[in-house]
Amino acid sequence: MNINTGRIYAALMSVFKKIEHFFTHLSEISIFAIWTSLIIIIASLIWGLSANLRGEITIRTVNKFLAGIGETRNIEQAISTWDIPGRVTQIGTWYRMASEEDAVIFPLITGGIFSPCLAIINDEGRLSTLVPLTVNGDRIMSRMNPGYLRIWIERIEENAAILKQTRDRRG
């Protein structure tokens, strides 16, 4: 054997050892892959099947918060936005209120602090009330750049118009 053949032989033996090592550990790898897949499938099923429960808990929690701050309006039900064109669902979760107004719960993040907010939209499609849903939400909103808040309000009003147009077309 010359030098090149010896190197090629050593390289091939190294590759074959890696392949042999892979196949000896294939059962462990497959068990881990199956286990991970099952966890993801179970979590997806739980998340999908608990959507109504999560929605009801959200409605109950927000209504308790609204009652605590003296607001008389309550959220009644979630609005399905699956078949509505545009980016309506990218803003937040839309709800119908007992006062026949629409509302959206959306996240405001300022300075790394997360604060969910409730925007109540009147019949004309304009923001009538903006309610921070956390204890320090007022403080977060006072520190917020007014331009950033105005962008959120404009997006919400645009999406409220899309939602209203879709609802009017359906009758």
> Which stretches of the chain drop beneath a pLDDT of 50?
none
pTM (2 d.p.): 0.72
- Predicted pLDDT at 105: 92
The alpha-helical segments, DSSP class H, found in the chain are 3-24, 26-49, 51-68, 88-91, 137-143, 146-170
- Predicted pLDDT at 2: 57
The rounded distance, in Å, linking the Cα atoms of 109 and 19 is 50
The rounded distance, in Å, linking the Cα atoms of 109 and 90 is 15
CB-based contact 79:96 (threshold 8 Å): yes
- Predicted pLDDT at 144: 85
- Predicted pLDDT at 38: 96
Structure tokens belonging to residue 84: 């509505």
